[in-house]
Structure 1
Amino acid sequence: MLHGNFRRSILIASLAIMGTVGLGSISAQEKPPIRIGFGMAETGPMAANGKAAKLAMEIWREDTNAKGGLLGRKVEFVTYDDQTNPSLVPGIYTKLIESDKVDLVVSGYGTNLIAPAMPTIMQRNLTFVSLFGTAVNQKFNYPRYFQVMPNGEDPAVGLTYGFFEAAMQAQPKPLTVALVGGDAEYPALALEGARINAKKMGLKIVYDKTYPPNTTDYAPVIRAIQATNPDIVFVASYPPDTVGMIRAANEVGLKTKVFGGGMIGLGFAAVKKQLGPLLNGVLGFELYVPEPTIKFPGVEGFLKKYQGRAEKEGVDPLGFYLPPYGYAMMEVLGTAIEKVGSLDQGKMAEYMHKNTFKTVVGDITFADNGEWKVGRPLYVQYKGVTGNDIDQFRKPGKAPIMFPKDLKSGELRTPYEEARKQ
């Protein structure tokens, strides 16, 4: 009899366990993952940045899921390689929305790969958080667009203002400026902002020209600038010509108080390695540097994770330029979902417009046009760079911040011909 009772107890316990497992399965089915879709450049000219951004976003997804996901649901990504080809972008986002049935979408990297997605997003009234699009919403004026890049409400002016604010620290006070950039989309926008800021600062523009995108010899450009004897030289450039212009300035022996500008690429480990001590004296544009004045909560922990995986993933080993902002983009989206308590696109957009977000790149508050209300591009002056080892940039002192004032960590050294000898 006792034996029969024992068997009956085992059977009841087994049924109870099975029932619990069954309920757990039902619960899991009731809470499917939140699926977030995006295109990203994994091949083509922007692949290096696209892969770095995607790794940063993956780290956010892993961190989020380790904490229980969003709304009690795990997060999954559905992604496609846009091949750095704008013509593929509309099809990718149509597929994500109509075939893959993702819950949310975010952008890929860069203006040229964000703008083509906008009509598809707008037709469906989706909330769209984007990564490093320059003034994309000026054309669309879409109220559910949000941009993660610290250029401020007026991107062209905000991007370049810090350079001029820092350059005007030179003594005696600068009076003239030369403006130069590639004949391409980004330089055109940056030069437009530079003209506005030069006028605000009371500077006389003595040179204002562009060079063809296929330029390989920049020495004639530097010599033409030198002939006007400017106090400040502002350059708007993409990575290849950033390298070319800095090399030419050193070869020609450019004489000016301040040399630099909105030179894209200075934040890349590959460009730092390539230029090494030729960076010294340049007043350049960065998005993160390990200076003691930058204490954004979580950024150091994120970079430690990123850098620990970067070499294996074959991406930028420093991760100063784009990765923290890729992580922050997803922080903004995740916070909005949690605070709203649903995936309601309209409510998320409304929340984003009304609230400040705590992220690894600091506080973000969005203006009506989806840009940052307060911009925070960094302008640094490279100092004491020796050799071509990128590990030196992991420590403070190689790129002290000149702007913004609340993050300033060094004093501007002028003239450029003296500053570059460090």
Structure 2
Amino acid sequence: MPVLAQDAPIRVGGTLPLTGPLAGVGAIHKLAAEVFVERVNARGGILGRKLEYVLLDDQSQPANARTLYERLVTADNVDLLMGPYGTSSIIAAMGVAQRYNKLLVQSSLGDPSLAPYDMQFPALPIGAEPQITDTEVLLDAYAGMATPPKTIAFVTSKFPSALTIAKGGQEVAAARGLETVLSLEYEFGTKDLGAIANRIKAADPDILWSGAVGMEAVQLLDAMARIEYKPKRHFYLFPAPGPTAAHPHAEGLTTLTWFEEHEPFLANAGAADFVAAYNERAKAVGFPYPHAEYQAAAEYAAWQILAAAAEGAGKLDDAAMAEWLRANTVQTALGPRTFEGKFNAGKASTKLKQVQNKQWVTVWPADLRPSGSQFVAP
């Protein structure tokens, strides 16, 4: 007996970097997506239909993402799309979605100005101008220290969003009176950062601002350790969370966050259940950091947004789902998400976290610190 359309699963297609330089973070997003699909299917699915995740490996290559999203739409005939990880791949997927008038929910676009498509919706609440707000959050956190920083070094990957945020960060630093003592860029995927580490040591800034993506943070920490140098204060933009926190020279380093597995974040919609399920699975598969943090929560929130749009519209119609998202608030693991303003970005809700005893702890704003925690900074 043939399967009736209303009984067939809703097929959601997407790619993630399961291999290549972004594979460590891609694995986090894959696991978070699987947790969502399993949990929503256990409750009966969406619109009375189970979900099926059609996941392909883009190998950390935007060109592959473009080709694979074309395949998902035209050959695999998926019902809905879910965005990939990483700015370049998201932009590639977005071009395909726009060509076919498909809704695209995405979890990790670091430069919203690259996303003028009106049917893309970001899960991560970075706001419309992260090139300003990201560094403002960092400098706000350090401003109250006994010895506020006076000099800063900007060393960044040429990964598109990292490059944009680094340039904006230099403007923010200058406006606040900090002297930029070093400004370096390197090709994304560069593995030998020895020469860069030597330049950082020579400049010896009060803050090292690193536009590292994925494992680049670990590679830079390794390179600085080899020359016996540790920055006074160091910040990394989009590091692989587990390997970075576990690094023997990571104590005290900071990065951005929008979610960690402690209060008050656990009060967000579905967050506590998500954290419990994700952590159990992460331990079982041997993740180096088997804890839900913002990368995992952003992927989970993207699926919450996609599901809410389908339920809200009452049908799998991309235009109707997009219209519903523009008019409504979605309760997610990252908190309430709205999509007003430029690039459907909504309001920024960016925080700062720090490695303390090989764990990530939210340290700024101060009221988001877990009980008994402090911002440890010289």
TM-score by length of 2: 0.86
Where structure 1 has 5 or more consecutive residues not aligned to the other structure, the ranges are 1-24, 394-398, 416-422
Aligned length: 370
Judging changes above 3 Å, is the alpha-carbon distance between structure 1 residues 283 and 75 closer, same or farther for their aligned structure 2 residues?
A: closer
Q: CA deviation at 1:328?
A: 0.8
Instruction: Name the CA shift for 1:33/1:196 in 2 (closer, same or farther; >3 Å).
Output: same
- Change in Cα spacing, 1:86 to 1:208, as seen in structure 2 (3 Å) is closer
- The residue type paired with residue 192 of structure 2 is T
2:123 maps to: 148
Mapped to 2, the partners of 1:243 and 1:43 lie a distance apart of 18
Instruction: Tell me the CA shift for residue 190 of structure 1.
Output: 2.5
**Counterparts of 1:320 and 1:112 in 2: how far apart (Å)?**
22
Question: Residues 60 and 182 (structure 1 numbering): CA distance in 2 closer, same or farther, change over 3 Å?
Answer: closer
- Residue in structure 2 matched with residue 308 of structure 1 by the alignment: 280
Map 1:319-398 to 2 at 5 A: 319-370=292-343, 372-383=345-356, 385=357, 393=359
Match of 2:364? 403
Q: Could you tell me which amino acid in structure 1 is paired with residue 211 of structure 2?
A: A
The answer as to 2:83 corresponding to 1:107 is: yes
Identical-pair percentage: 26
Deviation per CA, 1:170-209: give whole Å up to 9, x if none: 2244443332334543432231121132134333333333
Distance 2:269 2:90 in 1: 28
Separation in 1, partners of 2:230, 2:61: 38
Which among 198, 201, 206 is matched to residue 223 of structure 1?
201
- In the TM superposition, 1:11-160 aligns within 5 A as 30-135=6-111, 137-160=112-135
Change (3 A) 1:119 1:187: closer
Structure 2 stretches lacking a partner, 5+ long: none
Counterpart of 1:318 in structure 2 is 291
**Is the Cα–Cα contact under 8 Å of residues 174 and 231 in structure 1 kept in the other structure?**
yes
Give the C-alpha shift of residue 62 in structure 1: 1.7
Instruction: Report deviation, 1:369.
Output: 3.6
Give the equivalent residue in structure 2 for 1:193: 168
Q: What CA distance in whole angstroms lies between the structure 2 residues aligned with 1:407 and 1:289?
A: 10
Residue 307 of structure 1: how far off its partner (Å): 2.0
Residue in structure 1 matched with residue 152 of structure 2 by the alignment = 177
Q: Secondary structure at the match of 1:108?
A: coil
Q: Which amino acid aligns with 1:167?
A: Y
Q: Where does residue 412 of structure 1 map in the other structure?
A: 375
Q: Is the 1:48–1:315 contact (alpha carbons within 8 Å) kept by the matching residues of 2?
A: no
Instruction: Say if 1:182 and 1:211, in contact at 8 Å, map to a contact too.
Output: yes
Secondary structure of the structure 2 residue equivalent to 1:382 = strand
Alignment of 1:267-282 (within 5 A): 267=241, 269-273=242-246, 275-276=247-248, 278-282=249-253
Which residue of structure 2 aligns with residue 164 of structure 1?
139
What letter matches 2:254 in structure 1?
A: L
Please state how far the C-alpha of 1:248 moved relative to its aligned partner. 5.8
Following superposition, the deviation at residue 352 of structure 1 comes to 1.3
Question: Could you say what secondary structure the match of 2:110 adopts?
Answer: coil
**CA distance in structure 1 between the partners assigned to 2:67 and 2:223 by the alignment:** 42
Answer with 238-247 or 356-365: which moved more: 238-247
C-alpha separation in 2, matches of 1:118 and 1:315 = 30
Number of the residue aligned with 1:12: none
Residue-by-residue CA offset, 1:345-385 (whole Å, 9 max, x unaligned): 222112212222111121222233445422233312333x2
Equivalent-residue separation in structure 2 for 1:172 and 1:124 (angstroms) = 54
2:236 equivalent in structure 1: 262
Is the contact made by 1:353 and 1:368 (CA closer than 8 Å) also made in structure 2?
no
Mean Cα deviation higher: 208-217 or 104-113: 208-217
* Shift of residue 145, structure 1, vs aligned partner: 0.9
For residues 40 and 382 of structure 1, the distance between their equivalents in structure 2, rounded to whole angstroms, comes to 26
Residue identity matched to 2:146: Q
8 Å Cα contact 1:151-1:375 kept in structure 2: yes
**How do residues 205-224 of structure 1 correspond to structure 2 at under 5 angstroms?**
205-211=180-186, 213-217=190-194, 218-224=196-202
In proportion to residue count, which structure has more helix? 1
What amino acid does structure 2 have at the position aligned with 1:368? G
AA partner of residue 113 (structure 1): S
| Counterpart residue type for residue 172 of structure 2 | N
Secondary structure of 2:259's counterpart equals: coil
Partner Cα separation in structure 2 for residue 337 and residue 189 of structure 1? 33
- Counterpart CA distance in 2 for 1:94 and 1:249 is 42
Distance, in Å, in 1 between the alignment partners of 2:20 and 2:130 is: 26
Counterpart Cα distance in 2 of 1:211 and 1:86: 18
Name the CA shift for 1:412/1:336 in 2 (closer, same or farther; >3 Å): same
Tell me by how many angstroms 1:28 deviates.
5.3
CA 1:70–1:254: 2 relative to 1, 3 Å: closer
Deviation of the 1:73 alpha carbon: 1.8
- 1:76 CA displacement: 1.9
Shift of 1:302: 1.1
Question: In the TM superposition, what is the alpha-carbon distance from 1:77 to its structure 2 partner?
Answer: 2.1
